[in-house]
Amino acid sequence: MARVVAGLATSHVPAIGAAMDLGKTKESYWKPLFDGYEPARKWLADLNPDVIIMVYNDHGSAFSLEVIPTFAIGVAEKFLPADEGWGPRPVPAVHGHPGLAWHLAESLILNEFDMTIVNEMTVDHGLTVPLSIACGEQKNWPCPVIPLSVNVVQYPPPTGKRCFDLGRAIRKSVKTYDKDLKVVVFGTGGMSHQLHGERAGLINSEFDKNFLADLTRNPQRLIELPHIEYVREAGAEGIEMVMWLVMRGALDENAVEIYQHYHVPASNTATGLMILENQPLTV
């Protein structure tokens, strides 16, 4: 039986990927951020998951405005890094897990989530930067990754409640997959940032810290946050944080916080990272 054992939420700022790709991680601007990633990398390497379910958003790379899926799940064998205008990131191809991905697609649809099934797509910084953050520089990513893309570019994104409920449904679906797999769910994006308009550069550390504080023990407050609150308080692009709620929903109610890291800035963005683990079953 497969099971979700842990969750990791992290920002997915393109500049973090670029800093790694260009060898700048020891520079004074970047060092405090990357130092904070070390414990997470060690934790993930020790945990050694069999599959990562990566909840992220595409930024006009695999999907254009032609077709805008609210929730899309990638069922392919392989996903190549996207060219976002700067050329593709020099990171390994992502190998999928068609078996579990199709199982998820099937059971999520039968459980009334209106998934878009994707057989072929590229993956942009929304997916590759969290892998770089959590795995470091690698010749090959340590395990298969299932891309689960959430629309947060075109208003309206799904509500926080819908995202949390998707996480719940993922948890249930993983449990009914008949292979013995340790699954980690990533939620990515955020934290507070605004990339456009005269208000670009907005950061709200108080909002972010309250978000980090409540994610584990008081997710109900976050589930109920309306979109306008994210946009006003955390910046227009801060709405990405709804994806953290998918991760939270995929974990048990009594999941415990293992690690937390917060840093301002990375380029235009406040960055956060949080690790949750499910409690072992008491026998």
Partner 1 sequence: MSEFEDIPGTYLFDKDRCHDGYQFNMFCMSLVKPKNRQAFRSDEASYMDKWPLTESQRRSVLERDWLGMIKAGGNIYYTSKIAATDGRSFQFVAAAMSGVPEEEYRSMMMAGGRPVEGNRSKRETD
Enumerate the active-site residues: 125, 193
Q: Which residues pair with 230 in a beta bridge?
A: none
Contact range with partner 1 by CB under 8 A, out of 47-55, 171-179, 213-221, 228-236: 228-236
Q: Could you tell me if 81 and 88 are in contact, meaning their C-beta atoms sit under 8 angstroms apart?
A: yes
Cβ proximity to a copy of itself: between 21 and 106 the closer is 106
Q: Could you tell me if 31 and 25 are in contact, meaning their C-beta atoms sit under 8 angstroms apart?
A: yes
Q: How far is CA 10 from the centre of its chain?
A: 6
Q: Could you tell me if 173 and 111 are in contact, meaning their C-beta atoms sit under 8 angstroms apart?
A: yes
Going by C-alpha positions, the residue among 70, 3, 12, 16 that lies closest to residue 187 is 12
Q: Which of partner 1, Fe ion, a copy of itself, none lies near 82, with the C-beta cut-off 5 to 8 A by kind?
A: partner 1
Distance CA 254, CA 277 (A): 9
Cβ proximity to partner 1: between 6 and 243 the closer is 243
CB of 66 to a copy of itself, least distance (A): 5
Which residues of this protein are in contact with a copy of itself, per CB under 8 A?
A: 63, 65-72, 106, 109-110, 112-121, 154-159, 161-162, 165
Distance CA 182, CA 197 (A): 43
Size of site (CB under 8 A) for partner 1: 52
CB of 21 to a copy of itself, least distance (A): 29
Type of residue found at 124: D
Residues that bind partner 1 (CB under 8 A): 14-15, 59-61, 64-66, 75, 82-87, 98, 102-103, 105-106, 117, 119-120, 153-156, 192, 194-205, 207, 228, 231-233, 236-237, 264-265, 267-268, 270
